[in-house]
Amino acid sequence: MKREIEKRRGGRTKMFIPERFVEEQVEELQKKLGAGKAVIAVTGGVDTTLAAVVTHRAIGKRMLAVLIADGLMRGDEVARITGFFEMSAMQIRTVDAAMEFDNALNGITEREELRRVYQNAFYSVLGRVVREEKAMYLVQGTTAADVVRTEEGVELPDDLFEEIRLIDSRRNGLTIVEPLRKLNKHEVLKLARSLGLPPEFVDRQPFPVVLDMLRESLVK
């Protein structure tokens, strides 16, 4: 039987077993989060959805999923995402920020400026929710691929918090939590299927446009 390898350490291999990973993460998250409240911004992609599911198993109703409805999502996507979370007994808060994003992005056509303005609007909304909910933890869907990008010098959201001063983790006492940080894409998909995530989440691909891909990257 073909073995699926998670990592190589000193010439030894370790199998990735989804059930074991969940058990270990639940225990670790319970210790790390204690009695605190956690917020996670979800987009309908597999990474954030999976991170939310694992975190919910650890702390239950003290985890709040936040869906920022920017007015740019696919037709029924808001209903599909909220429906899944509600059916899974996970708390989700939808923030209608369409007008806020429309005002911010109006008239902007240059790609890099779109990225910057969208990013600031996204974190402005998310930061507001974090403060309103008095959350102590911000869960992200960071995976091993995102860590590699950071090491290669690509600026990712967790490096931007202090710079853009929209979510100041030191001032607000906010701790970033990344339960999927050590998983590669293959392991993420295997874990998602093991936990029974619907195909529309597991196989979802972002629109090949700058703002859709940016939305996905901001929650990692």
* Residue 217 phi, psi dihedral angles, 5° rounding: -75, -25
pLDDT reported for residue 10: 46
CATH topology of domain 17-218: Rossmann fold (3.40.50)
The CA distance from 79 to 129, in Å, is: 20
Residue range 47-72, pLDDT digits in tens: 999 999 999 999 999 999 999 999 98
pLDDT reported for residue 206: 56
The CA distance from 5 to 3, in Å, is: 6
Tell me the mean pLDDT in the region 34-42.
95
Token pair, residue 37, equals 């409240």
pLDDT reported for residue 148: 60
Burial 197-219 (b: 16+ CB within 10 A, else e): beeebbebebeeeebbebbbbbb
pLDDT reported for residue 116: 86
pLDDT reported for residue 22: 98
Residue range 130-158, pLDDT digits in tens: 989 999 999 999 998 876 654 444 444 44
Q: Which of 21-30, 122-131, 139-148, 208-217 has the lowest mean pLDDT?
A: 208-217
Show Cβ contacts of residue 99 under 8 Å, excluding neighbours closer than 6 positions: 71
Please state, for a pLDDT cut of 70, what percent of the chain lies above it.
75
The CA distance from 28 to 83, in Å, is: 28
In the predicted structure, residue 79 carries a pLDDT above the cut 50: yes
In the predicted structure, residue 213 carries a pLDDT above the cut 60: no
Q: How many C-beta atoms lie closer than 10 Å to residue 35's C-beta?
A: 8
Residues 54 and 179 sit within 8 Å (Cβ to Cβ): yes
The CA distance from 24 to 52, in Å, is: 15
Mean pLDDT of the chain: 82
pLDDT reported for residue 174: 81
Residue 184 — very low, low, confident or very high, per pLDDT cuts 50/70/90? very high
Nearest Cα to 17, choosing from 190, 203, 180, 189? 190
The CA distance from 107 to 192, in Å, is: 39
Of the two residues 102 and 151, the one the predictor is more confident about is 102
Most distant CA pair in the chain: distance in Å? 57
In the predicted structure, residue 164 carries a pLDDT above the cut 60: no
Tell me the mean pLDDT in the region 26-40.
96
Q: Any idea where the domains of the chain sit in the sequence?
A: 17-218
Please state, for a pLDDT cut of 90, what percent of the chain lies above it.
54
